[in-house]
Amino acid sequence: MTRYSIASLVRNAFSGHRNWQPTWRSPEPREAYDIIVVGGGGHGLATAHYLAKVHGITNVAVIEKGWIGGGNVGRNTTIIRSNYMLDGNEPFYEWSLKLWEGLEQDVNYNAMVSQRGVLNLFHSDAQRDAAARRGNTMRLYGADAELLDRDAVRKLCPFLDFDNGRFPIQGGLLQARGGSARHDAVAWGYAHAASARGVDIIQNCEVKGFLRDASGSVVGVETTRGAIRAGKVGIAVAGHSGHVAAMADVRLPIESHVLQAFVSEAVKPIIPGVVTFGAAHFYISQSDKGGLVFGGDVDGYNSYAQRGNLPIVEDTCESAMAMVPMVGRSRLLRSWGGVMDMSMDGSPIIDHSPVEGLYLNAGWCYGGFKATPASGWCFAHLLATDRSHDVAKAYRLDRFITGEIIDEKGQGPQPNLH
Ligand code: FAD
């Protein structure tokens, strides 16, 4: 069902668009809420939506210092997939992919979810073994995975450099249900659905500190628009997790790094899905407009600047030329950066914080877009019930003390995918 009929489109075209209904409400903040979610990115908005829809908790505010879609949710390269291997990760990401598959109907918003496939190339016998093992594990968890040989990959992607002297392509692991989604529309869709259920979305409102009671519990937030009280406060601020948690004297095992991405001028459809290089940190897909969308590794130093640097541009383009040389013939349209919350094992945290009343959703590194639905679902579960959701129970903060880390290629600081 579309929100606007043809008649309303025509009427608004002639009335100078004065009658459009905003996609979400922009109310003044109330004095108090049951739950405040700090951060109006994909994760914060999804949390609010599922709090309202699944748990019936609607006295909720999402507090965003900038504008909806201005953070990483609108800066990523839009890849969604569930090709993980470890126990702590695969059920969570497969649940996320299932939620992606029903997302547009759930929030009644076109997020352009497109299951066009994610192909991870391998270049050696050892990498083939690892890909086979990963694929088998995925299938055990109910996900789809197909090991392709060199000929099958050539049929799918004839434009790759199969005989590259250093990294000849031997095959790939395909997840056909993986693909992409229009990133900022995901934020708009969740904002629209949460707002319709009564959640207040407060933009241009920065959290500058936390209200504490005599016992030290968090009982609200100090913002640039005044103090707002809350029964519980959840942080979902991605690259600013360390900074915001520090306002409550919580030190997180997280560093902030910039990740860049690039888009070329539009060309005719050529790249069928997402393709990742197995020999260096590089991946590429094609947008619906025709631009080649690609990216590489994070910047090597900590930063909160939302822009990148030339060594990574050079490194990414070098990998592009090794894997798909035709990229060198297209002109680069633009590049941009976002601030990543890099956890020390590459996996996220969805947990209570050491401070009563304060809850954490952080450490998504450069793979948090695909996690958006499940992250929101599980954070809402934690906030509503005070218990971890089954598929997120490994994402504990104390694993960095106990040593039960979830160190998996594919999400963390190791080269592979986004
Ligand atoms: P954000 O959208 O950043 O939301 C956090 C919000 O918190 C921001 O809007 C910010 O303004 C707000 N905030 C911060 N501090 C405060 C404060 N004090 N008060 C109030 N609000 C505050 N992931 C994938 O799965 N697939 C990909 O292909 C992929 N590619 C990427 C490519 C790039 C270039 C980048 C930058 C990231 C990529 N990611 C990808 C990672 C993914 O985008 C992030 O992990 C994810 O978006 C983070 O969650 P979020 O959407 O909630 O973050």
How far is Cα of residue 333 from the mean position of the Cα atoms in its chain?
A: 23
pTM comes to: 0.95
Residues within 6 Å of ligand 1 by CB: 38-44, 63-66, 70-73, 75-79, 206-207, 236-238, 240, 244, 259-261, 295, 338, 364, 366-370, 418
CA of 238 to the centre of ligand 1 (A): 5
**pLDDT band per the 50, 70, 90 thresholds, residue 19:** confident
- Rounded to 5°, the CA angle 342-348-354 comes to 100
Q: The tokens of 383 are what? A: 């906030």
Report residue 87's pLDDT band, with 50, 70 and 90 as the boundaries.
very high
Q: Tell me the C-alpha distance between 44 and 46, whole Å.
A: 6
Mutating to test ligand 1, I would choose from 63, 76, 411 the residue with most ligand atoms within 8 A of its C-beta, which is: 76
The two domains 28-82+85-109+183-253+345-402 and 118-178+255-343 share their CATH topology (first three levels equal): no
What does the mean pLDDT of the chain come to?
94
Beta strands in 274-357 (DSSP E): 274-276, 283-286, 291-302, 332-343, 349-352
Above 50 in pLDDT, residue 140?
Answer: yes
Question: Nearest Cα to 66, choosing from 28, 31, 39?
Answer: 39
- Per-residue buried b or exposed e for 390-416, using 16+ beta carbons within 10 Å of the residue's own CB: ebbebbbbebbeeeebbebbbbbbebb
CATH number assigned to the domain covering 28-82+85-109+183-253+345-402: 3.50.50.60
pLDDT tens-digit readout, 155-174? 999 999 999 989 999 999 99
Q: Alpha carbon of 49 to those of 116, 135, 204, 405, 415: distances in Å?
A: 27, 32, 20, 30, 33
The two three-digit tokens of residue 1, written as one number: 């069902």
Q: What is the pLDDT of residue 225?
A: 97
Q: Which atom of ligand 1 is nearest to the CA of 283?
A: 28
Give residue limits of the domains in the chain: 28-82+85-109+183-253+345-402, 118-178+255-343
When pLDDT is averaged across residues 198-221 and rounded to a whole number, the result is 98
Give the residue with greater pLDDT, 212 vs 281. Answer: 212
Topology annotation, domain 118-178+255-343: D-Amino Acid Oxidase; Chain A, domain 2 (3.30.9)
pLDDT value of position 416: 44
CA quadruple 120, 124, 130, 131: dihedral positive or negative? positive
